[in-house]
Structure 1
């Protein structure tokens, strides 16, 4: 069987991170996606969908460090059905996505603008918004501050196949 979902949209809240007893990071947030369509009467409509996201390991730490409410992201992962019993005894369920790969879609200019408006603290001397975050299986990369040339111009290694437009 195959279970794969790809979503692009904006985060609806800041990433909340916690750690297991073993020290592994778990991050949670939600994404809002939308689609525009014409109804049978020809009226332009928009449908918005909200989906919970869960990040693990290094991906959770990167998401917590760089993403804030409103950040544009592209995620892919597995669809999961969460089921529980509410306090009033009713059975409840919802779908969520366990994220395997994360791409930050905000440009550096957009992230600095959000920081200026009090949205969040922009990363200093790093331009990781245009690079995909490593998955939990990938080896950690060296921080960009060590790789950057002396003129504080970040080095960007982008594969053209990874550009979403």
Structure 2
């Protein structure tokens, strides 16, 4: 059984994960409209991953005999102009998710809630990977450009990467 404070914080993080999914769905649509099919597929795979993250937390709360309280998911901001700006905003967003996960870990440790701390370690590791991946994409966009042939090459790479991400994102929560 987890504390009411931890339950509240995990429910807030579920909302943040759902917002992340909504943000990536929006960026996928924006990319699709710009005829960037690979980028759209990558953001759609990210959408699926974020839904999986929310469902992992949902399942954890239920397994801990805690209430799941869903809140309003706010609309994401209007998509920025250009692929580089989309990924820079993505990195800023992922850093805010990392901060939220770290706050949850800190709270679990302060409560000596070992089960929640162990549960959250998967998310800590996931956030390292998330930020590193987006940092790499930004580096490639800065190196090759977010227009013309450079953008086409990166869009194709993102489409290929999305194919490897989708099965993992769709896998049932552990």
* TM-score, normalised relative to structure 1: 0.26
Q: Which structure has the greater CA radius of gyration? A: 1
Structure with the largest fraction of strand:
1
Question: 1 or 2 for the larger relative contact order (CA 8 Å, sep ≥6)?
Answer: 2
Larger relative helix fraction: 2
Q: Give TM-score, length-normalised by structure 2.
A: 0.25
